Structure 1
Amino acid sequence: MEIILKEDIQNLGHKNDIVSVKNGYGRNYLIPRGLAILATTSAKKVHEENMRQRAHKEEKIKNEALEVAKTLEGKSFTIGAKASSTGKIFGSVNTIQIAEALTKEGFNVERKNIAMKDDAKELGTYTVTVKLHREVKVDISIEVVAE
């Protein structure tokens, strides 16, 4: 079954992608929840026209994301956390705290667009991937220090 995605779905595709899924997954999960529509011939024609009109806007958004990526690249952000004398953090540093640190510096990034490779449960430096656009990702350095 071919469907047109209305939203980004992890491990399946991005918004406005035409993907093939099993009939049950599309009919019982994606379509009833409004995450996708059935890719009929007329829906595909409408989709193609919309994508043609959107191409210019997408290019502008991608260029803006590239500019933000250039300013973010190589930057290091510091996040304070309560820690024991051995350097272990009470809890862990999560994407919400990283998003707040980026917002304080003037970079508006949603927390769902931040991916941590390792859990930050100790003091130290960690690498975090920030997804600014579907094609633009940048790695930044996060330093976790004791408060």
Structure 2
Amino acid sequence: MKVILLQDVKNYGKKNQIVEVSDGYAKNYLIPNKLAIYATKSDVDHLNVKLKKESQEKESLIKEQEKLKEKIESLILNFSLKVKDNKPFGAVSLTQVCDRMAKEHQIVLDKRKFEQHENLNKIGLFYLKVKLDFKIQATLKVQIEGKE
């Protein structure tokens, strides 16, 4: 008997898959426990439409993340640290970077999305890797200048 799985079922398949199972297993376990439904023609058509719609939504989300990546990589955030005797005092934190991104560029990032962050307590240009959704990575440039 062919059924459409409504949830992942160990040793049989994942959600939204059409699988062949024994009649007794389908009637006595899968269907009563709402793990599957009968694979009628209308249900299969409905599933195909649903899967197509989900894939289109996923593609549009991926395109949005790619645009966000391009926008992030085109930016340079400028910060300044006090300098005394050629030594900078203080540091720039990820929270400050995220706040500046939100205020100036309307890009909301979570500080946990940054990969391997080192303390930004030196003068110079730093490259911070940001993990976006769908395994997309962007590189944000942070310029730190000294002021007396």
Scaled to the shorter chain, the TM-score interval is 0.5 to 0.7
Distance, in Å, in 1 between the alignment partners of 2:144 and 2:132 is 23
Matched, 1:124 2:93: no
Partner SS, residue 45 of structure 1? coil
Matched, 1:101 2:100: yes
Matched, 1:59 2:59: yes
Shift of 1:80: 3.3
Paired residues for 1:77-92 under 5 Å:
77-90=77-90, 92=91
Which residue number corresponds to residue 140 of structure 1? 140
Q: 1:114 touches 1:128 (CA, 8 Å); kept in 2?
A: yes
Q: Alignment partner for residue 15 of structure 2, among 46, 51, 56?
A: 46
RMSD: 3.1
Task: State the aligned residue count.
Answer: 108
Shift of 1:124: 1.5
Q: Rate the CA distance shift 1:58–1:82 in 2: closer, same or farther, 3 A.
A: farther
Q: Residues 3-45 of structure 1: CA distance to partner in whole angstroms, max 9, x if unpaired?
A: xxxxxxxxxxxxxxxxxxxxxxxxxxxxxxxxxxx97246x43
Q: Rate the CA distance shift 1:59–1:122 in 2: closer, same or farther, 3 A.
A: same
| Amino acid of the structure 2 residue aligned with 1:46 | K
| Amino acid of the structure 2 residue aligned with 1:45 | K
Partner SS, residue 122 of structure 1? coil
Q: 1:76 touches 1:141 (CA, 8 Å); kept in 2?
A: yes
Q: Rate the CA distance shift 1:74–1:47 in 2: closer, same or farther, 3 A.
A: same
TM-score after normalising by structure 2: 0.57
81-90 or 58-67, larger mean C-alpha shift? 81-90
Unmatched 5+ stretches in structure 1: 1-37
Q: Which has the higher strand share?
A: 1
Q: Rate the CA distance shift 1:41–1:64 in 2: closer, same or farther, 3 A.
A: same
Provide the identity percentage.
Answer: 11
Partner SS, residue 89 of structure 2? strand
Shift of 1:132: 2.2
Higher Rg: 2
